[in-house]
Amino acid sequence: MTLLKNPLLQRVLLLVIVYAAMAASVTNFGTTGNAYAILESSAMLGIVAAGLAVNMMAGELDLSVGSVAACAGLVAIMMSGHGLVIAIIAAVVPAVLYGILQGYAIARLQISSLVFTLGTFIGIRGLAYVISDERTLSLALSDLGISMALRERMLLIFSPFSLLMIGVLVLTGLLLRYSRPGREIFAIGGSRKESRAAGVPQTRPLVLSFATSAGLAALAGALASLKGGSATPGSYETVLLAAVTAALIGGVSLYGGRGSMLGVLIGVLTLQVLLSGLQLLGAPNWAANLATGLILLAFLGVDLVNGQSPVADAVRRYSLRARA
């Protein structure tokens, strides 16, 4: 029973339960075909969530990930004529540079990332409209092969895209756990003041976390757009909400210093299983919104009741009086 106290295991259990529930109530849910679809739809979100989670672990929040993904998707489509690799590099490299700049500005100005990334969120979205001239861009017929290649079904349920997602999560997880920069990110995340007093460099891990959130968002956006064959400047507006929800489900703390990539993977899968189930049940678009919002609030609530919050205090006072 003590095994169940492990938060990570709790989340795996939740995923299993949710999957089982869906498989029982929705026809064709438990097939390998559907598993492939779920993994496919998780890929983009998973990569973005990985980057955003790194940022959250550093105690920050990069609101601009959706806008960056949109720009990256557009750039990738525009450069698709030069092949998959060039397209991706062209999309990701500027994003990483942007992330470095953003992180540096936030670190040096010592400004709240919420406020700063609010500005870049809006600005980069504008940029997306500018570079695409407000049109939808599509892959040239001659390049459709790229799209097909990304979708190729491998090992029954995977595709290059979803395998890449898993690869990104594993690599990021390893770097976070076993390298100095990774540990620095955790340090400044959970205890910013103490880490400064302890002599932990402040700028380097911040810059790294923002470069990661932007870079991975760009990678995800580029690949997703190439796979889908087109990109629009208004896309990926909901990815921020979904990524944060997935990270929270996975145990990444908003207060920094806590979480793991494995948790992110579980969070993403849990969310996608739920949304996939809803879709198969024929629920309309807004239902996904409703569901995601409810899940997010539910996990916030669970976190609160468990912790040192005022509500736990109030509950105890009440129960002590009731006993009198």
Partner 1 sequence: MAKADMMNMTGQGPGDVVLEMKGISKSFGAVKALRGVDFELRKGEVMALLGENGAGKSTLVKVLAGLHTPDSGETRIDGKPFSLGSARLSHAASIAVAEQELSVIGALSAAENIFLGGVPFRGPWTRKRLAKKARPYLEAVGLHHLDPSTRVETLAVAERQLIEIARLLATDARILILDEPTAALNDSDIERVKAMVVRLARAGHSIIYVTHRLGEVFEIADRITTLRSGQSSPPVNVSDMTLEKVIEKMIGRPLEEMFPHRASSLGAIALEMQGVTTPALPLPQNLQVRKGEILGIAGQIGSGSEALLRAIAGADIVEGGSIEVHGRAFPRAHSLPEAMKRGVAYCSSDRKLDGIFAELPVSTNIISPSMQRVSPGGLVNRRRIRALTAEVSSQMAIDGSRAEYKVGALSGGNQQKVALGKWLGIAPRVLLVSEPTRGVDVGARAEIYGHLRRLAEEGMAIIFASSDIDEVQGLADRVVTMYRGRQVRVVDPTRVTSHELVRDITHPEEEAA
Partner 2 sequence: MSDSAMQISQIHPPRSRRLLKLILLAAAVVALVALGGWFNPAFLTPENGLAILRAAAMSGIVAMGATFITISGRFFSLALGQTAMFAGVFMAVLMAQGLPFGLAVAVMLLAVVAIGAVQGAIISMGANPIITTLGAGALLAGLAGLTTGGRNIAIESAVVEWIGNGRILGVPTQTWAFLVSVAVAWWVINKTRFGRETILIGANRATAGASGLNVSRITILVFIIASLAAAMMGVFEAAQFSKARVAGFGAVDFDVIAAVLIGGTAIQGGKGSPFRAALGAVFIATLQNYMLLLAWSSGVRTLITGAFIVLIVAGFHIAGRRKGA
Using CB under 8 A as the criterion, which residues of the chain lie in contact with partner 1 when the complex forms? 177-180, 182-184, 186-187, 189-191, 193-201, 256-258, 313, 316-318, 320-321, 324
The CB-of-264 to partner 1 minimum distance in angstroms stands at 17
Pick the closer one to partner 2 by CB: 166 or 287.
287
**Helical axes 239-249 vs 261-280, angle rounded to 10°:** 120
C-alpha pair distances (Å), 9 with each of 4, 5, 14, 256, 263 = 6, 8, 8, 20, 9
Residue 61 interacts, among partner 1, partner 2, none and using kind-specific CB cut-offs from 5 to 8 Å, with partner 2
By CB under 8 A, is residue 110 in contact with partner 2? yes
> How far is residue 111's CA from residue 308's CA, in Å, rounded to a whole number?
27
The CB-of-56 to partner 1 minimum distance in angstroms stands at 13
Pick the closer one to partner 2 by CB: 51 or 160.
51
DSSP assignment string, 145-214:
HHHHHHH--BTTTB-HHHHHHHHHHHHHHHHHHHSHHHHHHHHHHH-HHHHHHHT--SHHHHHHHHHHHH
Residues linked to residue 158 through DSSP beta bridges, in sequence order: 154
> How far is residue 289's CA from residue 239's CA, in Å, rounded to a whole number?
12
The CB-of-164 to partner 2 minimum distance in angstroms stands at 27
> How far is residue 148's CA from residue 157's CA, in Å, rounded to a whole number?
16
317 phi and psi angles, rounded to 5 deg: -60, -45
The CB-of-35 to partner 2 minimum distance in angstroms stands at 26
By CB under 8 A, is residue 100 in contact with partner 2? no
**From the list 248, 252, 271, 273, which residue makes contact with partner 2 (rule: CB under 8 A)?**
248
**From the list 55, 209, 235, 245, which residue makes contact with partner 2 (rule: CB under 8 A)?**
245
> How far is residue 216's CA from residue 2's CA, in Å, rounded to a whole number?
36
By CB under 8 A, is residue 58 in contact with partner 2? no
Token pair of 115 as six digits? 């406020």
**From the list 54, 240, 264, 271, which residue makes contact with partner 2 (rule: CB under 8 A)?**
240
**Helical axes 285-306 vs 239-249, angle rounded to 10°:** 40
**From the list 9, 16, 281, 304, which residue makes contact with partner 2 (rule: CB under 8 A)?**
304
The CB-of-249 to partner 1 minimum distance in angstroms stands at 20
By CB under 8 A, is residue 97 in contact with partner 2? no
The CB-of-309 to partner 1 minimum distance in angstroms stands at 14
Where along the sequence are the contacts to partner 2 (CB under 8 A)? 61, 105, 109-112, 114-116, 118-130, 132-134, 233, 237, 240-241, 244-245, 248, 254-255, 284-297, 300-301, 303-304, 307-311
